[in-house]
A = this chain, B = another copy of it.
Amino acid sequence: MAVTIKDVARAAGVSPSTVCRALSTPELVRAETRERVQRSAAELDYSPNRAARGLITGRTGNLGLIVPDLGNPFFPGVVKGIQARAREADYAVFLADTDEDPAAEAQLVRTLAKQVDGIVLCSPRMSEQELRGVAALTPVVLLNRRVGRLPAITFDNVDGMRQAVTHLTALGHRRIAYVAGPRASWSNRERVRGLRLAIAAAGAELIEVGPVQPQFDGGVAAADQVLAAGVTAVIAYNDVIALGLLSRLNVRGIAVPAAISVLGFDDIALSAMVHPSLTTVGLPMKSCGRAGVDLLLGLLQDPDRFGSTRRELGTQLMVRGSTGPAPSA
């Protein structure tokens, strides 16, 4: 059915060994032979069977990618970056969506591990212990989470919060609410840490609300508490929550940003599309994906050098319509 190395060998009048060399280590083959083989291969539209190659080389040419929920607009951006970079490097990508289930996550790593050279774990929800366990199984790169010395790409959440708070205090806000994401979330903890630092540095006052589910409804639910707290600005754990806040504030007839400023985190595409558009701390999602693949590939090449590399990517505040001067009391 499919064209194999033998077909090419026959067509070029050489042995399979020579075909293999002509294609993968051309310098070992006489120019004339090499060209003949390459021509035959092209004519027959031959490409080596990756499974067979993997069997002997021990490398599959595949990467695994595990995400908690593609429905969360944060992830498609990261996935696209991973996709693109992997394809450039001639790797194929296995995708698995866990539906936010930590158990499924561990299970999937185990299943995938045998079919891939390494796995990119996007915002993994499983425990540190489990994470270390699966990292022993196969090369792993963490995205948006840091655990011990495991290779990881993260965002500078602390600085992002600094930018957010600086922006708000410059606008005169002194009492600021934070709608927290899940307690178990690493990035939520980091954001809270950065927030407290920045608030303290600015001499402002922080009111913490939540935690809530990092979904639209979480924001909707938090809005009334935020209003009750009598703040002039609110920072949400992420954009989706912020959108929920905006929606509920609108329903209650509260003007944004005249009466209250709203600030999100992530800069999902949607944030620029709503009205008022959402001021938010932008994370370089695509770069994160690319950097993750780069790190993983480096790690496969040279485990010693990259085995515990961690990179932190910068963030950028996107000032839009949902933040404005604090109302004069």
The oligomer's copy count stands at 2
Of A77-85, A205-213, A295-303, the one contacting chain B is: A77-85
A94 touching B97, Cβ below 8 Å: no
Contact with B along A90-102 (1 / 0, CB 8 A): 0011111101000
Interface residues on A, range: 35 or more
> Does A243 touch B at the CB level, under 8 Å?
yes
Residue of B nearest to A219 (CB): B273
A250 touching B275, Cβ below 8 Å: yes
Q: Which residues of B contact A112 (CB under 8 A)?
A: 92
- Report which residue of A51, A79, A243, A244 has the largest number of chain B beta carbons within 10 angstroms of its beta carbon: A51
B71 touching A83, Cβ below 8 Å: no
B49 touching A114, Cβ below 8 Å: yes
> Does A2 touch B at the CB level, under 8 Å?
yes
> Does A284 touch B at the CB level, under 8 Å?
no
A25-75 residues with Cβ-Cβ distance < 8 A to B are 47, 49-52, 54-55, 58, 60, 62, 65, 70-71, 73, 75
Q: Which residues of B contact A96 (CB under 8 A)?
A: 83, 87, 92-93
Given A50-B115, A70-B80, A115-B50, answer yes or no on A247-B273 (Cβ-Cβ < 8 Å).
yes
Q: Which residues of B contact A272 (CB under 8 A)?
A: 216
The list of the 4 closest CB pairs from A to B, nearest first, reads: A95-B95, A51-B51, A70-B76, A250-B275
22 contacts between A and B (CB under 8 A): A1-B58, A50-B114, A55-B55, A65-B95, A70-B70, A70-B79, A71-B77, A71-B269, A75-B76, A76-B76, A79-B95, A83-B96, A87-B96, A92-B94, A92-B112, A93-B94, A216-B273, A243-B273, A246-B275, A247-B274, A270-B273, A273-B274
Q: A51-B55, A247-B274 are in contact. List 17 more A-B contacts (CB 8 A).
A: A1-B58, A49-B114, A70-B70, A70-B76, A70-B80, A71-B77, A71-B80, A73-B73, A83-B95, A84-B99, A92-B94, A92-B96, A92-B112, A92-B115, A247-B275, A251-B275, A270-B270
